[in-house]
């Protein structure tokens, strides 16, 4: 199992505004679905609540929240209150064939940054008009153990802008 994160950011590293995505880019949403289907997806409570059905089908939905009384609308969502329990459970169980995808929000990306092995970052060549949540990109660029593994740029007519799909990988000790 690999711990991966996936996020779309604008040129200011913004990821959201008022608990909504800044952009709905069909190519990026398709890529997100292809990469995460069949795996575990980990998110914060607000990210879960921002989803249209408050559940992502064909994935094991996990929510990390400090609210001990939180009950998701969908009973298939697993609620965990402790970072260490998530790491221990999903890295030491028999589910090694599934990856753990960190899908947001900002606090969750920050909290799992040091254990994330792959970072799938979609960069939108635009500046959002309004944003209140940001990705900790400075950590990515200041960490010498993380390198750019691949990059692909496409034009998205839905937003009339270029979109770049970057994959960064954390080098292991022996690399």
Structurally, the chain folds into a number of domains equal to 1
% of the chain with per-residue pLDDT over 90 = 89
| Domain membership flag for residue 68 | yes
| Domain membership flag for residue 30 | yes
Placement of tokens 């899908």 in the chain: 103
Enter the pTM of the model.
Answer: 0.94
Q: What residues contact residue 77 under an 8 Å CB cut-off, 6+ apart? A: 48, 54, 55, 61, 62, 63
Residue of 46, 3, 39, 10 lying closest to 129 (CA atoms)? 10
> How high is the pLDDT of residue 90?
77
> How high is the pLDDT of residue 161?
96
Q: What is the span of the domain harbouring residue 39?
A: 3-170
**CA-atom Rg of the chain in angstroms:** 16
The more confidently predicted of residues 21 and 91 is: 21
| Domain membership flag for residue 143 | yes
Range of lowest pLDDT (37-51, 70-84, 93-107, 116-130): 93-107
> How high is the pLDDT of residue 19?
92
> How high is the pLDDT of residue 91?
73
| Domain membership flag for residue 141 | yes
Residues 164, 123 contacting (CB under 8 angstroms):
yes
| Domain membership flag for residue 134 | yes
| Domain membership flag for residue 175 | no
pLDDT at 174 over 70: no
> How high is the pLDDT of residue 175?
47
On average, the pLDDT of the chain sits at 94
| Domain membership flag for residue 24 | yes
- CATH code of 68's domain: 3.40.430.10
């Amino acid at each position: 199992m690999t711990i991966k994160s996936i996020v779309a950011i604008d040129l200011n590293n913004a990821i959201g505004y008022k608990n909504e995505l800044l952009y709905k880019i069909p190519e990026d949403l398709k890529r997100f679905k292809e990469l995460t289907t069949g795996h575990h997806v980990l998110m914060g409570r607000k990210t879960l609540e921002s989803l249209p059905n408050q559940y992502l089908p064909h994935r094991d939905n996990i929510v990390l929240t400090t609210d001990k009384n939180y009950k998701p609308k969908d009973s298939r969502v697993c609620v965990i209150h402790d970072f260490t329990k998530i790491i221990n459970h999903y890295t030491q169980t028999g589910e090694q064939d599934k990856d753990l995808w960190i899908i947001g929000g900002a606090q969750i990306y920050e909290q799992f940054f040091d254990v994330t092995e792959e970072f799938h970052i979609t960069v939108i060549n635009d500046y959002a008009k309004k944003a209140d949540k940001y990705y900790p990109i400075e950590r990515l660029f200041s960490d010498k153990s993380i390198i750019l593994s691949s990059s692909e740029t496409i034009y998205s007519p839905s937003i009339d802008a270029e979109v770049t799909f970057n994959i960064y990988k954390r080098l292991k000790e022996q690399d």
